[in-house]
Amino acid sequence: MKSINFIGSGDYHHITYSIISNIPYEFSLIVFDNHCDCNDMPNGTISCGSWITQASKLPNIYKILVLGVSKINAKCLNKNITFLEYNENFLKKALSLLKSFSISKVYISIDKDVLDPKYAITNWDQGKMKLSELLYILNYIKEKYTIIGIDVSGESKPYNPLSLILPREIKLNQEANLKILNSIMMN
């Protein structure tokens, strides 16, 4: 694995686009996110809510798989992107989709808003994924593919600049970050 980047709040998830657009070879992009992140933006702009659409246009991306979304927006349907909603059969369906990848190199982008608030607290509405499910899928990917890079977003930030992030939120997010890091780094 080349790198793992912790990029802060989900407000900055579009930084992933900058990272992956510079990869000089073909790979697949696996995203864990509660949102589709495929909104339309004026030409030449990108945001945390539009970066996946922009990424689907990159010539170096073979396939995009977005895992754990709470609701697939109809305007997000794109032949280059596969979305999998989080539901009772999620883990089985996710592993099945991952088995269909025919390219060995993958980049992983994790927005912790995909997780149930029991496991991380973000400043966006959150999904229902268990941290154990995320880690299981990461371990599966690590065994089957070459991970060329990872980024993690979804840190909590104050809604009001004058307020403070609660220590409990910091501790919970740090525990999730360490478990993700350990899952990827351990042999």
pLDDT at 151 over 70: yes
- Indicate if the pLDDT at residue 95 is higher than 90: yes
Mean pLDDT confidence for 88-94: 93
Helix axes 131-144, 90-99, angle to 10 degrees: 20
Reported confidence tier of residue 50, pLDDT bands at 50, 70, 90: low
Q: Residues 98-107: what's their mean pLDDT?
A: 88
For the chain, report the end-to-end CA distance as a whole number of angstroms.
Answer: 12
Question: Quick one: which of 53, 54, 20, 49 has its CA closest to 37?
Answer: 49
pLDDT at 149: 94
Q: Can you say whether the dihedral through the CA atoms of 91, 129, 131, 8 is positive or negative?
A: positive
Q: Which residue has the higher pLDDT, 94 or 5?
A: 94
What counts of helices (H) and strands (E) characterise the chain? 5, 6
Question: pLDDT tens for residues 115-138?
Answer: 999 998 887 889 999 999 999 999
The residue behind tokens 């694995």 is 1
